[in-house]
Amino acid sequence: MDEEKKFEERIGLQSLQEKVLALKKEIAKVLVGKEDIVDLIVVAILADGHILLEGVPGIAKTMIAKLMARLLSVGYSRIQFTPDLMPSDVTGTTIFNSATSKFEFNEGPVFSNLVLIDEINRAPAKTQASLFEVMEERQVTVDGKTYKMKSPFVVIATQNPLEHEGTYRLPEAQLDRFMFKILVDYPSAEEEFMILQNMHQRKGEPELKDVKTVLTAKDLATFRKQVQEVTVDDNLMKYIAEIVIKTRNHPSLYLGASPRASIHAMNAAKAYAAINGRDYVIPEDVKAVFEPILLHRIYLTPEKELEGIFEDKVVKDIIKTVEVPR
């Protein structure tokens, strides 16, 4: 009992766990299944990371992002990416105010706490580049002036698979700024039946009507500090580094993951440990987050693409080949 009391006093993760359970309870009012996806999104938000959701249209990618915005008591904005969208439509622009005879900066929709970018791969490279600075440095520079973002700042982007018509491949530098790429698949037959039941029972009421706010910005700041206090053993850091390095010399890949992938893996593993009530990371935490961290950071050789090999298989094979620390 004394050991348990000492453990609780040292890390203070009980409140974090309670809030995470409350989040999941509210999400379950609207979203059927997808528990693993919800866990990863919560982990990314606690680890101050951005999220890319990929899947075909109509499988609740946008709904997931809107749900998280409803659950967090923070600013929210949505940007619909289209082929004619300009960078200034995202970041904002400087205009001349005739009343004051001064130039004033009008903030774009990216100036918020949780930003949903819908169909991010429907805008060309010029518009994609407008996100580079803000996603990494949490600031926007327009006409030589820098404007800082308020904390928290999280981007949740959705995209359709690249083989769909009218989409653009995201630049590697932008993909690397996302902590996770999460693949959202079709529901099972049982889940689809439950979706129909829920829709029928709502009788036209808004989907998010009964969803309550769970986390404030202050709560999130506190929990993020606690996540940073989670212990990571040196052997686990070497384990993370070895997996990432193997992506750089794997025969099936012509581009491996960057050091940013290692940092994201460590921070995400800390958050995963924290939501499971531990103040220390174990190998299972690292394994749980590594696939969505690497999926968008590795590129198959043309030969392997022709063979029908997929990135997730290569990631799984790499993780299997690295010895787990004891």
Task: Taking the CA atoms of 152, 264, 295 and 170 in sequence, report the sign of the dihedral they define.
Answer: positive
The CATH number for 40's domain is 3.40.50.300
71-89 in b/e form (b: 16+ CB < 10 A) is bbbbebbbbebeeebebeb
Structure tokens at 274: 């924290």
Asked, for residue 326, whether it belongs to a domain, the answer is no
Asked, for residue 135, whether it belongs to a domain, the answer is yes
Range of the domain at 77: 32-214
Asked, for residue 50, whether it belongs to a domain, the answer is yes
Asked, for residue 123, whether it belongs to a domain, the answer is yes
Asked, for residue 199, whether it belongs to a domain, the answer is yes
CB 248 within 8 A of CB 30: no
Asked, for residue 54, whether it belongs to a domain, the answer is yes
Domain count along the chain: 1
Asked, for residue 308, whether it belongs to a domain, the answer is no
Tell me the whole-structure pTM to 2 decimals: 0.89
User: CB-based burial of residue 242 (10 Å sphere; 0-12 exposed, 13-18 middle, 19+ buried)?
Assistant: middle
Asked, for residue 298, whether it belongs to a domain, the answer is no
pLDDT in tens, the chain (326 residues): 444 444 444 567 889 999 999 998 888 888 888 888 999 999 999 999 999 999 888 888 888 888 888 899 888 999 999 999 999 999 999 888 888 878 888 999 999 999 999 999 999 888 998 899 999 999 999 888 999 999 899 999 999 886 666 778 888 889 999 999 999 888 889 888 988 888 888 777 777 777 888 889 999 999 999 999 999 999 999 999 999 999 999 988 988 899 999 999 999 999 999 999 999 999 999 999 999 999 999 988 888 888 878 888 899 999 999 999 87
Structure tokens at 210: 């009964």
